[in-house]
Amino acid sequence: MDITTFLQEHGLRPSTWPMFADPAIWRFFGEGLRETVFLALASVALSFVAGLLFALGRLSRIGAIRWASTAYIEGVRALPVLLLIVYFDIKGSSLFRPIFGPDFDLPRFWAGVLGLSMYTSAVLAEIIRAGVLSLPQGQTEASRALGLSYAQSMRHVILPQALRLMVPAMMAQLTTVIKDTSLVGTIGVFELLKQGRTIYTQFFNPIEVLIIVSVIYFLICFTLSQLSRRFELGRVPRLAQVKIQEVQLRDQAA
Amino acid sequence: MPGGIAFEFPRLFFGGFWLTVQISVLGLVGALVLGTVVALFRVSPIAALRWIGGSYVEFFRNTPLVVQLFFLFLGLPFMGIRFSSDTFENLFRAAIVGMATYHGAYVAEIVRGGLLGVDKGQLEAARSLGLSYPGMLRYVQLPQTFRAIIPPLGNIAIALVKNTSLASTIGVAETLSAAEIVETRTFRTEEAFLTATLFFLLLTVPLGIVVNGLERRLLVAR
């Protein structure tokens, strides 16, 4: 049996490929890709700020703040991202009712961003905390002895070093966010996968479309993960390594 | 009582929870087997096998699991491949296969790290004592590897339990789907999703406690 008949019998009909020469299809994919990128960027920006706050909260000397931050981080990390995304998509949920009234309907794009951000902020908080804890105690002691306040020593001494050390881990989390944007399609945001699904329900060619979609995701995520290795500066202490491995396996496989 | 709605729709919720457990356990077993095989490929003396193992890991880790699941339940039947002639059984098995292949790539990286972590002198000693390459793997390298990698594998198990929720997107009636079905029937949206949340916490929180304990012990041991 020659190769063309084999491929035809197994669904890769050559007649379904020429449609991808049409630029309109690629514009359609492009719109999805744009939505995916916007989702990822908005989520990363939001979750970096929130993650920094929760990391500082978990490092805080005030018991109540420490406990609240720990509960948030561990609670969110124990939940599926998809569940969080679906939860923010609930119409008139009690989360927003007290502020915006019962008729409030969060735009789906932002429901997706909030779901992704909630999860990513908890993960980034753990990464940042691991970075802070990996620095030698002497750094804090020296800066405090020089007369810097707690906030000043965090701002000028500890965080700049900790964040720089954690750049590769945070970039790895970015690839996870990009992969997870594909879940936002389930609540009706037209990101890359959802656009692909629209195409194959029209043309009955799921194999071709899914191959194209996965190649696009692969190119983005693979490039980012290769790039993140370039930012490995200095040696990460063992304690931080274990924490980062935990985060990478438990949260980046999501 | 939060989660009380589960007892009003026991077949949906407890049935869904049971499916979640089944997909998790079977998926994890598959991922462990597949991951070990891929890891052995990656450390093999044959360059072609190393390349295959490497491509497998990079491909599955850098594409979303949902895309892979869609391929398994929609793409494969187009190619004439089904896991079962029964539609529901096919979805269920596609979900398990998807969990195994995706997490297998992560397991492979852990096992590979463990294999490379075994002291080289031991491997050379085993070979010079007359053990064959498979014999050396079986009696020297793999047993030491598995002890070192239990905590990281626990983290994979947690990720896998959470990721079973993605099976709802291809139509498997697991916990999250149960919440969605109950929502459309009763409009008690928040109760339904809160219940699903509790069911997931029921699995992930104990697992997390166990894994954190193991990690701490490993840190002390080294």
Lowest mean pLDDT among A116-125, A171-180, B3-12: B3-12
pLDDT at A206: 87
Rounded to 5, what percent of chain B is helix, strand, coil? Answer: 85, 0, 15
Q: What is the 3-state secondary structure (H, E, C) of B33-48?
A: HHHHHHHHHHCCCCHH
- Nearest CA to CA, how far is B32 from chain A (Å)? 14
**In this structure, are residues B77 and A191 in contact, taking their beta carbons and an 8 Å threshold?**
no
If pLDDT is split at 50, 70 and 90, which confidence band does A15 have?
A: low
Q: Which residue of chain A is at minimal alpha-carbon distance from B81?
A: A10
Q: How confident is the model over B129-146, as a mean pLDDT? A: 86
The parent domain of residue B131 ranges over 5-221
Q: How far apart are CA A226 and CA A162, in angstroms?
A: 21
Quote the minimal CA–CA distance from A197 to chain B in Å.
Answer: 9
Neighbours of A82 (CB within 10 A): 26
Task: Answer whether A217 sits within 8 Å of B64, measured CB to CB.
Answer: yes
B216 has a pLDDT exceeding 90: no
- Please report, for residues A75, A83, B165, B196, the alpha-carbon distance to residue B14 in angstroms, rounded to integers and kept in the order given: 22, 17, 15, 10
Does the interface predicted TM-score (ipTM) exceed 0.95? no
Q: Do A242 and B219 touch (CB under 8 A)?
A: yes
Residue of A nearest to B198 (CA): A79
Q: Which residues of B124-159 are buried (b: 16+ CB within 10 A; e: fewer)?
A: eebeeeebeeeebbeebbbeebeebbebbbbbbbbb
Alpha-carbon span B152 to B108, nearest angstrom: 11
Q: Which residue of A has its CA nearest to B164?
A: A80
Q: Give the mean pLDDT of chain A.
A: 87
Q: Which two tokens stand for residue A123?
A: 């993960």
Helix axes A238-250 and A167-184, enclosed angle (nearest 10): 10
Across the interface, do A221 and B197 touch by the CB < 8 Å criterion?
Answer: no
**Burial grade of A205 (CB within 10 A; 0-12, 13-18, 19 or more):** buried
Most confident of A90-99, A193-202, A210-219: A210-219
* Number of domains forming the structure of chain B: 1
A20-250 fold: MetI-like fold (1.10.3720)
| Confidence band, pLDDT 50/70/90 cuts, at residue A10 | low
Closest Cα of chain A to B11: distance in Å?
Answer: 20
Element (H, E) at B200: helix B189-221
CB spacing of A206 vs B75 below 8 angstroms: yes
Q: Which pLDDT does position A18 carry in this prediction?
A: 78
DSSP one-letter code for A237 = P
Neighbours of A5 (CB within 10 A): 9
Give the C-alpha distances (Å, rounded to integers) separating B126 from B42, B130, B133: 20, 7, 9
**Interchain pair B75, A222: CB under 8 A:** no
In angstroms, the first-to-last Cα distance of chain B is 46
pLDDT at A235 over 90: no
Distance of CA B59 to the CA centre of its chain: 16
CATH number, domain with residue B46: 1.10.3720.10
Contact B193 A238 (CB under 8 A): no
Q: What is the pLDDT of residue A68?
A: 96
